[in-house]
Chains A and B, each alone.
Chain A
Amino acid sequence: MASNGLVSPRRRSSDQFDGSDPSPCGSEEVHVLAVDDSLVDRKVIERLLKITSCKVTAVDSGLRALRYLGLDEEKTAGDFNGLKVDMIITDYCMPGMTGYELLKKIKESSALREIPVVIMSSENVLARIDRCMEEGAEDFIVKPVKLSDVKRLRDFMTRDVGDGTSSDGGGTTHKRKLRESFHESPPSSTVSCASSSAPAASTTRSRSPSPSPSPSVSSSKPVTATTDFDFMGFFSIRGKSNNGRHVEDSDQHLNCLKEETVA
């Protein structure tokens, strides 16, 4: 809740809960695990998801994602690190494990395969899209990701939640459902229910694995400028240890770049 009581005539804070306008998802929020090695993209996708009232956990690699999901060598599947994940959205091109490899690992796991996985990629390559959809991806988003892309995903998630069967009866047609829904016009109203915003340090959080995600306490920043981004030197980040480029093996090239790209 903004402490100075400022309310913009244009836009209400997404942290305010309007009791007269119930969230379509009821009392449960959609929790999305976002995977992207790019710090810029992580920040953007995180904001996009939060503004559509999703809880977000952002990690910078496929390995970290698997660890968060409780699926790594030492632990058995289903040993969740944190809150239940309702959707995974991952970049395709990442050093180490690609988004495609992450997708395969998730779909191979009996505990995790039901979680919808969305792939994001800067390359609009039909072969790549097909390969991901065949492997069970829910959707494929061409970067840069826009609010309309995330809203579409959100609408899909709230339609899916509480409505166990899809209207086409599931099966292979379910894979195409989200892509096809793109051609329908999604509901234009935005959701303004309380969103739990992780503290601003969520991107640095991914560096040191934390056992549980942030509690659902919304922290709205005051309207006046914060000291972290002071005016004259606002392109310098102070006190941030993570300067973004996380490469697990610095000699490793991006394997995804070896694929043929469309002309």
Chain B
Amino acid sequence: MPRFHGQSNHAPVDIVNQLQKQYVDYLSSLFHEGVLDDQFTQLQKLQDESNPDFTVEVATLFFVDSDKLINNMAAALERSPVDFKQVDADVHQLKGSSSSIGAMRVKNLCITFRSFCETQSYEGCLICLQQVKNECAVLKDKLQNLFRMEQQIVGAGGSVPLMD
């Protein structure tokens, strides 16, 4: 059985293959559902031995950022009168960072959210805020699953497949 230098353990090849296949299937489903778009693949391509955690790091930054922005939006919507320009500015920021990591559904929700800011629709904004919150939570959950699968593959001595 081939040995991989630097690996702490090495599972049988068919287990690695199975893990890799599950990973590819899961990631494919995320693209298929529109949770992620090609920009996510772009980020994965930037990962290598010198930056093995790049995608996780960017995702982490995104969630720190989005949490703060969502809290800002919620606070702004609670104030009277509502400063829709400020909410819009925060949504714009979230749209930008979600686009940069390939979080397509979040990005699209932000586009809708901005149109409600423009028309100064309080109810529309509240609904969008809730949807954005939910979508970020879903994304976080799915990315955690994805990264967990990556760790399992690497831990078993395999390499993480890149989507084309």
Contact = CB atoms under 8 A, between A and B. Distances in A.
A217 interface: no
Interface in A211-250: 218, 220-221, 223-226, 228-229, 231, 234-237, 243-245
Given A10-B159, A257-B88, A146 B42 contact: yes
Given A39-B61, A43-B61, A6 B6 contact: yes
Interface stretch (A44-52, A59-67, A78-86, A108-116): A44-52
B68 interface: yes
A243 B60 CA distance: 11
B99 interface: yes
Interface stretch (A11-19, A161-169, A178-186): A11-19
A5 B60 CA distance: 28
B151 interface: yes
Interface string B1-40: 0000110100000000000000000000000000000010
Given A44-B100, A122-B95, A245-B65, A235 B58 contact: no
A61 B149 CA distance: 37
A257 B89 contact: yes
Contact of B6 (A4, A14, A197, A231): A4
Contact of A40 (B97, B144, B159): B97
Contact of B96 (A143, A235, A244): A143
A93 to B, nearest CB: 7
A125 interface: no
B54 A11 contact: no
Given A47-B51, A231-B151, A244-B65, A38 B60 contact: no
Contacts of A13: 48-50
Given A10-B159, A40-B101, A244-B61, A234 B86 contact: no
A147 B64 CA distance: 24
B62 interface: yes
Contacts of A38: 65, 93, 96-97, 100
A40 B100 contact: yes
B65 A39 contact: yes
Contact of A44 (B58, B89, B144): B58
Interface string B37-76: 0010011011011111110111111111100110000000
B140 interface: yes
B86 A223 contact: no
Given A47-B46, A144-B42, A145-B100, 12 more contacts: A7-B49, A8-B159, A38-B65, A47-B51, A95-B89, A122-B96, A143-B96, A223-B52, A229-B56, A235-B59, A237-B61, A253-B86
25 contacts: A6-B49, A11-B49, A38-B93, A39-B64, A39-B97, A40-B61, A40-B62, A43-B57, A43-B61, A44-B43, A93-B92, A143-B96, A144-B39, A144-B102, A220-B49, A220-B50, A225-B52, A229-B53, A235-B64, A236-B60, A245-B65, A245-B69, A254-B92, A257-B88, A257-B89
